[in-house]
Structure 1
Amino acid sequence: MESSFRIAESHIGGDVVAELNAASEVDAARMLSHCLDVPRWIEEVLQHRPFTDAQSLRRTIAHAAAPLTEDEIRRALAVHPRIGERPGGEDVAARHASAEQSGVDISGEGIEQRLRAGNLAYENRFGQVFLIRAAGRNAEEVLRALGDRLGNDRQTEAAVVEHELREIAAVRATGSLEP
């Protein structure tokens, strides 16, 4: 069972696609649940195994179970901390969030306060945590996106959140920002 978590936890070394292809259905589902915990999405991704390469896995991640329902999005958002807040705990979700947000340096002048205020404004407007693929982005990029997205209507924002969830899942599954 340890190897089944290696992909979802670290993305370091090995051939992620080969490991996902070789895993049992149960282990592969567990790996994918750490990427996007939506059972319908997991089932559809599993139906496309074996994957020929990381790009085919990323394509499947991007299109499986589209669109996600409001309930599926709520379920997926439940494990994501606010941007700029380091999650507590040692579970896989906490380790992912910490790694993904590591480039978002909140120590700059006013960054933490701006993120806190932006998160609150977003939650008041949309009734959910602000979600963005933080991996590969710095604090200013996150703040700019947060400000822009506060102007979205609910339908537009729902589509953006779904896209961000899929991007996060792809990074978690492949360990890469590369398309």
Structure 2
Amino acid sequence: MTSSSTPGLTRFNTLADGEATPALHEVCASAAWGETVLAGRPYATEEALLSASDAAMAELTAEDLAEAMAGHPPIGRPKPGDPTSSREQRGMAGASEELKTEMLELNLAYQERFGHVFLICATGATGEQMRDAVKSRTGNSPEQEQEIVRTELGKINRIRLTRLVRETLAEEAPVQDS
């Protein structure tokens, strides 16, 4: 998908701003990030869209990062009825009650230390990997943690943007089932 536009990307590029803005907000709750990505349309390739997302993420202020993080529920507690957070946190779904309790305590300690939820790109991570990450990151300085959060948000945004463009493509494809 690096040499030409796909039907899903074309649809994203041609959405009215009023339709694209809420779709981008589902990817990342930062208004500044969404405005920057929206302003870069049309994108020639999926990779160009992802690169624009990365560039927009790099420019976010501390306040913009806080706004982006506010759109993410704590690990182990996906938003009820939100398939995105449930899918991304699948690694905690089968965790033992002991691990879930430990994660809750670790999340609270992290939040007490840094003033925001523990954020990690949880897609594909096990509950144990997430637990180990929060344990190791709690010792970081606030400045170190802010940059780690920026990187993790960038990873999440890439996954969500890819899904957005590819799901858009799937929605447009004719149904072949009988």
**What is the TM-score of this pair, normalised by structure 1?**
0.80
- Which residue of structure 1 lines up, in the alignment, with residue 113 of structure 2? 125
2:65 aligned partner, one-letter code: I
Q: Return the alpha-carbon distance in structure 1 between the equivalents of residues 106 and 7 of structure 2.
A: 39
Q: Return the alpha-carbon distance in structure 1 between the equivalents of residues 27 and 73 of structure 2.
A: 15
**What is the TM-score of this pair, normalised by structure 2?**
0.80
Percent of aligned pairs sharing the same letter:
31
Correspondence list, 1:67-78, <5 A = 67-78=59-70
Query: How far is 1:65 from its partner?
Result: 5.3
C-alpha contact 2:95 2:127 (8 A) present in aligned 1: no
Structure number with higher helix proportion? 2
Q: Is 1:110 aligned to residue 98 of structure 2?
A: yes
C-alpha contact 2:75 2:118 (8 A) present in aligned 1: yes
The correspondence for 1:175, drawn from 152, 160, 163, is: 163
- Which residue of structure 1 lines up, in the alignment, with residue 71 of structure 2? 79
Q: Return the alpha-carbon distance in structure 1 between the equivalents of residues 65 and 79 of structure 2.
A: 20
Q: Return the alpha-carbon distance in structure 2 between the equivalents of residues 104 and 110 of structure 1.
A: 11
Q: Which has the greater radius of gyration?
A: 2
- Which residue of structure 2 lines up, in the alignment, with residue 143 of structure 1? 131
Structure 1 segments of 4+ aligned residues over 4 angstroms from their partners: none
Structure 1: runs of 5+ lacking an equivalent? 1-13
Q: Return the alpha-carbon distance in structure 2 between the equivalents of residues 124 and 97 of structure 1.
A: 22
C-alpha contact 1:106 1:112 (8 A) present in aligned 2: no
Q: Kindly report the root-mean-square deviation, in angstroms, between the aligned alpha carbons of the 2 structures.
A: 2.0
Query: How far is 1:156 from its partner?
Result: 0.6
1:153 aligned partner, one-letter code: S
Q: Return the alpha-carbon distance in structure 2 between the equivalents of residues 57 and 165 of structure 1.
A: 15
- SS of the equivalent of 1:37 reads coil
C-alpha contact 1:16 1:174 (8 A) present in aligned 2: no
| Total equivalences in the alignment | 159
Q: Is 1:162 aligned to residue 150 of structure 2?
A: yes
Q: Is 1:19 aligned to residue 6 of structure 2?
A: no
C-alpha contact 1:84 1:106 (8 A) present in aligned 2: no
